[in-house]
Structure 1
């Protein structure tokens, strides 16, 4: 879905940003990923990013909770990952959820660039297959001329510029072979970043749904989420509002064996696509209805 919101005057205020790294983020959460030590007098080989436990103060708790409305159908994937599908229901709506959950000790995230504006939604299958991915979804937003909206780094190659806006408010990235989900004001620069995809808006922070999200427009959604330690998820929801998606992901016990601390919205609508390769080698491919610029893939280590 090309980002038609770009036509609005408000997005003319988008600016590129550069700023100095803070002095570092201590990690007190047991089992949290190790972070490179900050050396203020030396160039860093990799930034030190915070876990979700050290994010900004949590937004107010939402009273909207989602529950399972069907049994959970689970499929084993390589690398210890699992795909779960179920119907979820809140007091006002229901949605179909497809989510892949994996451990960052066994799988990594990779950004797959798709520069052809005429490739079609079916491009997801050969791209995922050729990268050895076990799962993947469509990625970030893009301009009408098919250039990326925000910064994309694919295997160390940079495309686009770091962007700040109400829409592009966070990024998923790989630093020192570890995935991170960071907000714009936490970004420490491109040094050491092998993979990066800016997107937004933020859906969940500190385990609570964001309270500023729109509740009136339902669409098919795509997301990436983490428990702030080693557990990660990518998935699609058919369909809900942005606020509904935040509520869904923050609902206790909804995602199997995972409590979401942070979640970021990816491009949705006609762009929504999902690919999965099962443990026995079968492929499940649900292409989007339109060509997209990039994908977010889960690859075994």
Structure 2
């Protein structure tokens, strides 16, 4: 396992884990929500290209980030997005878009569709899915046949959060990995949500020495999730 400090208590890890499906290469940022905030960064330019990742993260003062939610072919958001209080799209319920990352009162939460109480008080939000882990257990209905690059967000249900990517796995494999004991240092995942993956998969990290890891992916994406020191 390789690790590096990102400041504000955040750590970046890269390692290979074994699952029932074989090896999976993970890149994961772990942070404490008492010391870092989660922001949704809107990227409304349809043909901007993935290379805008680093400049958007720098402008936000982010120490890490990944690509966010899904979007339609016309580049409108698939589901509801709230970026710094600005609302785009509409809340939707489906098997694909089954949860959301929301920020209320500067504290992030992973909420499932049935738990969503409306936009009041929400300053950041992005819908995505499917759900990968709930109550510490992988969801049993996840697909086991389609391998792709994946992006995810996870929490221990308290103050620890993880954003990450996996080079190639199925949704079921990712859920089982994230729910397994001792996968992430000092963090046991209670909930995890799949983000847009495949060609959209992107990762940005800025280490304390100023060096950047910038993996912008192949596609222009509509939004990103960013970790910003408080």
TM-score normalised by the chain length of structure 2: 0.99
Shift in Å, 1:95: 1.1
Who is 1:92 aligned against?
A: 21
For 1:153 and 1:172, the matched residues in 2 are separated by 10
Query: Over the residues paired in the alignment, what is the CA RMSD in angstroms?
Result: 0.6
For 2:91 and 2:20, the matched residues in 1 are separated by 38
Shift in Å, 1:126: 0.3
For 2:167 and 2:158, the matched residues in 1 are separated by 27
For 2:199 and 2:7, the matched residues in 1 are separated by 28
Who is 1:168 aligned against?
A: 97
Who is 2:77 aligned against?
A: 148
Aligned to 1:254, which of 176, 183, 207? 183
Shift in Å, 1:91: 3.4
Who is 1:278 aligned against?
A: 207
Is the counterpart of residue 231 in structure 1 residue 160 in structure 2?
A: yes
CA contact (8 A) 2:26 2:165 kept: yes
Is the counterpart of residue 203 in structure 1 residue 120 in structure 2?
A: no
Q: Secondary structure at the match of 2:74?
A: coil
For 1:198 and 1:221, the matched residues in 2 are separated by 16
Is the counterpart of residue 212 in structure 1 residue 141 in structure 2?
A: yes
Moved over 3 A (4+): none
Higher relative contact order (CA 8 A, sep 6+): 2
For 2:94 and 2:105, the matched residues in 1 are separated by 27
For 2:31 and 2:129, the matched residues in 1 are separated by 22
Shift in Å, 1:185: 0.6
Shift in Å, 1:92: 3.1
CA contact (8 A) 2:154 2:192 kept: yes
Who is 1:115 aligned against?
A: 44
TM-score normalised by the chain length of structure 1: 0.76
Shift in Å, 1:89: 1.1
For 1:123 and 1:211, the matched residues in 2 are separated by 36
Q: Secondary structure at the match of 1:259?
A: coil
1:146-176 alpha-carbon deviations (Å, 9 max, x no partner): 0000000000000000000000000001100
For 2:68 and 2:77, the matched residues in 1 are separated by 10
Shift in Å, 1:280: 1.1
For 2:228 and 2:21, the matched residues in 1 are separated by 36
Who is 1:80 aligned against?
A: 9
Unaligned runs of 5+ in 2: none
Q: Secondary structure at the match of 1:164?
A: coil
Rg larger in 1 or in 2?
1
Who is 1:222 aligned against?
A: 151
